[in-house]
Structure 1
Amino acid sequence: MRPDSNRPGSFGRKELVMAKNRWFASLGSRSRHEELEPDDYGCEQEDPGEDSASGEENAETDELDQPEPCKELADGAKAGGLVTEQGTEGESRSLQVPEDQGLVWEPSAEDMIYSAFDASQPANQPVDLRGRDNELRTLLGAVLYRRNHAFIAGLRGSGKTSLLRVFGHLADRDGVVVVNTSCAKDTQFGALFRELLEQIPYSCVDPDKADLFESRVEAFGRDGTPLQAVTIAAMVEYSQVVMVIDEFDRVQCEEARADIAATLKLISDRRLPVRMVLAGDEASFVDIIDSHPSLLRHVTQVLTKPLEESAILSLFDICSSRSGISFSDEAKDLLVRTAMGSPYHARLFGMNAAIVAAGRGSKVVSEKDAYTGLAHSYQEWASINPDDATVFRRIVDGWHGNPARFVELSKALVSPKGSMSDALENAVPELRDREVTEELDAFGGALVHTKEGAVFRDGTAPQFLVALQAIGREHTRRKYASEEADV
């Protein structure tokens, strides 16, 4: 029920604004740009001597283990009067309490940047879905007009959930009932489908059968079968229903995966006004088809490939117009190369770079701001992925040879490819005549080997390896430039 300001006990607009202001008043201002510690890669310093074969190797590794690119680049984040715990005039949150007006809150420049880039949330409106026009048209045509199921396949951060949300928004506008759920590692078929069935409105069912529909849904439990699920879905008569299942690749139960595949097949065979749209990685799509090969006729695959450079630039432009912060050509070039076609990374890197620029009082993100933004982005990721961060640190420090080779390998693993071996050979030609196993082993637990090939355990990780290498190179360049200036 919508809030009604005239209804006793309800919250109207005035009350909601006052509640919001009280919440903001309880917030302590904090700095987004605390100086990074010497352990600037976001993982513990290690003694490489444990893994080295000689004292000479230990000495070389110790020297490699001490770079501080993130720290030096982050120094720029404090320039220009960033908000500290006490706040800085002109940039701090405006929390004023006039005696006659009560609390007044105004968003800071940093708040506006967070809102404009919205890196932590998927897109919800068509205007925010950049570079996915073809995928959206394919999805809408397949599901709404060809009456097919669909599977959106792609890496984490490639925009699958954003595509799902915009699809749902447009389908709903077209009169289609869209119900949604998301999977977890322990997802079971019965609980998953029960959640979807409970969201179907009674208006989709014959009024004389509404009570029967309700009782069947309530009786459908954890032990529910695909046949029982489809029997209930068959009661839908007066509307098209689309069931959206996000993060299907997280489901670890093989029986649950097989049951969902069986449900897709049963729905298609009965020609019900119900379709399912799933999102996950390419390996999950293969699992679905392996369960029922005939589903190839009934399921349309939509790939969220890396965005073209023009789409990423367009994304920066729209975020710039909303935040009031623009990007220099050098900054754009660096961030586009590092994002590698991922809209999530483009938003994250761009947001952190824009915050650095605003912190020094500038409306334009410089190349130096972009490097500092990458450093902050990497540190945030490393804090929640310490194991993978340690692997990447070793690679960039040269433990396994030239870091550039491994960066190219990581790019190959996330790029569109016919086969993993072909992609690796195209990225690093010298591997063409020998095995790539040794190179892949350098990634350790950061890579997971499947029947389709090697994939990153954290699908967002490759861009952070690229960022780390870029930070290291810039640190070295500045160090040499400083030494030459001293001479």
Structure 2
Amino acid sequence: MSWQLKKRVSALSRWLNGSSANRPKYARPPVVVPAPDAFVPSEVDPAPVVPQANPLPNRLILGRVFDSAHPVRSREELLGRRRELDELLAATLDFGQHAIVHGARGSGKTSLVRIFGDHADQGGAVVIYMACEPGVSFSELILPYLRAIPTAALRPGAREAFARGLDALPATFGPRAVVELVAEQVSSPVLFILDEFDRITDTVVKADIAAAMKLLSDALATVLFVLVGIARDVSDVVDAHPSLRRHLRTVALGRIEPTSVDALITNGAAAAGLVFDDRARAVIARASCGSPFHVRIFAHHSALAAVRDGSSVVREADARTGLKTALEHWASMNHADAATFVRLVETGQNLHLLERTARRAAVNDRLEQDGSAETAHTNILADAVRAEPGMDTALVFRDSVAPQFLIAFIMLAEVSAPASVPTARQELPDAVDS
């Protein structure tokens, strides 16, 4: 690490700990307990009693209910994706179409397809899920799926013929060999889910995948592909075979709605025996911009802050502490962008515009260079942004989860009264249309 970068990271640590000039420290407000004989006017409603849970949850419980590192484990945990789930089920089970699921990191793609697979399995389909590995050939990618097709999915009496055909495949085979093997032998709906498809960078492999999808559809085969990756993979596959469009459904995952953000916090809090007050929810909602990953990681750190203080109620001070500790964790893995963000925020200039820029990137997954105020000054973001591959007029953050952390930096730096923070159920200011 260069001397300059070390200096900036050191500044980050000092900054997060409140030692920078003119930065307020957020502390839990003092609790004032009236004397037993204190007079309370009858016309003033008493303060609402916030339920207290006992005992406090341990770290393992909090890590489970606000897990940001793994896909959701049950249907009940998949919030805000009902439309996308229904669209996937309709495309594959009702219309026999292949599907591409795309969205930014943290949008919940893997969670969606895992729950989709659960529903599809219940609906009578065979679901074979694997994650792609970089550097593999078409044969190496598809052979494990073919070997995983169960006997029950084959046409009656086709077991031996399928086994012989599978054994006879050469070391290197193409899309047509796959179709010849499965088109006549497989009778049940079989879904090949290729998660992390963006890790496949070989254009030849992508073209072979597209060809296989087209040939399978033409042969009326019951084997379908579900590709899961980032947006640019859609054009890569479709461009290889434009006629594939009529056999394909694309499902885009944007950000979840504010009501789903609120529900995600509520469900996690209830499972952990905690309560998040409205101001804490507003802090998390503002910083996360509807990203399930960020909602969970900010809520997790906020809950830990409250529990460390012996409270089962997560308040605004805890949420801001949660932003700080989440930032420290992210910055330890991304020194360069963290140093850039510290430099930008410590200037104290145009923080409102900087947040609008970060929010636009977080919501739209890119910054279109359209001459708007939000994109006119993107040069100040330095190496934190880069041109989106294949697009001359768009920029993306080098670390796709970084925009929300930039907003968290800004929120910790701003000097504002707590009353100015909107409630979680209100529309956030300066929302950017997707």
Q: TM-score over 0.5 for the alignment?
A: yes
1:460 aligns with 2:406: no
Residue matched to 1:409: 357
1:329 to 273, 278, 281: 278
Task: Please say which of residues 265-274 and 187-196 is displaced more in the overlay.
Answer: 187-196
Gaps of 5+ in 1: 1-42, 48-61, 78-105, 479-487
SS at match of 1:120: coil
1:324-363 equivalence runs, <5 A: 324-363=273-312
Residue matched to 2:390: 451
Structure 1 vs Structure 2 CA RMSD: 3.0
Work out whether residues 276 and 315 of structure 2, in 8 Å CA contact, stay in contact via their aligned partners in 1: yes
Work out the CA distance in 1 between the residues paired with 2:389 and 2:354. 20
Task: Please say which of residues 217-226 and 367-376 is displaced more in the overlay.
Answer: 217-226
1:469 to 383, 405, 410: 410
SS at match of 1:303: strand
Work out whether residues 392 and 443 of structure 1, in 8 Å CA contact, stay in contact via their aligned partners in 2: no
SS at match of 1:357: helix
* Alignment deviations for residues 303-339 of structure 1 (CA, whole Å, 9 cap, x no partner): 1111111110001111011001111111100100111
Gaps of 5+ in 2: 19-23, 29-54, 419-434
In the TM superposition, what is the alpha-carbon distance from 1:213 to its structure 2 partner? 2.2
In the TM superposition, what is the alpha-carbon distance from 1:407 to its structure 2 partner? 3.1
Work out whether residues 391 and 446 of structure 1, in 8 Å CA contact, stay in contact via their aligned partners in 2: no
Residue matched to 2:7: 45
Work out the CA distance in 2 between the residues paired with 1:299 and 1:354. 42
* Aligned-residue identity in percent: 31
Count how many residue pairs are aligned between Structure 1 and Structure 2.
382
Query: Which amino acid counterpart does residue 407 of structure 1 have in structure 2?
Result: E
1:178 to 127, 132, 135: 127
* Alignment deviations for residues 208-247 of structure 1 (CA, whole Å, 9 cap, x no partner): 4323423433454663211112222224433110111111
Work out the CA distance in 1 between the residues paired with 2:112 and 2:85. 7
Work out whether residues 360 and 366 of structure 2, in 8 Å CA contact, stay in contact via their aligned partners in 1: no
Work out whether residues 190 and 220 of structure 1, in 8 Å CA contact, stay in contact via their aligned partners in 2: no
1:236–1:415: structure 2 CA closer, same or farther, 3 Å change rule? farther
Work out whether residues 56 and 273 of structure 2, in 8 Å CA contact, stay in contact via their aligned partners in 1: no
1:267–1:467: structure 2 CA closer, same or farther, 3 Å change rule? same
SS at match of 1:443: helix
Please identify runs of 4+ aligned residues in structure 1 that moved more than 6 A: 73-77
* Alignment deviations for residues 89-144 of structure 1 (CA, whole Å, 9 cap, x no partner): xxxxxxxxxxxxxxxxx996222111222222111322111111111111111110
1:188 aligns with 2:131: no
1:68 aligns with 2:68: no
Work out whether residues 189 and 222 of structure 1, in 8 Å CA contact, stay in contact via their aligned partners in 2: no
Normalization by structure 2: what TM-score? 0.80
Normalization by structure 1: what TM-score? 0.72
Work out the CA distance in 1 between the residues paired with 2:263 and 2:172. 48
Work out the CA distance in 1 between the residues paired with 2:124 and 2:224. 14
1:162 to 111, 121, 124: 111
SS at match of 1:44: helix
Work out the CA distance in 1 between the residues paired with 2:93 and 2:387. 36
Residue matched to 1:146: 95
In the TM superposition, what is the alpha-carbon distance from 1:280 to its structure 2 partner? 1.2
In the TM superposition, what is the alpha-carbon distance from 1:405 to its structure 2 partner? 2.9
Residue matched to 2:230: 281
Query: Which amino acid counterpart does residue 292 of structure 1 have in structure 2?
Result: H
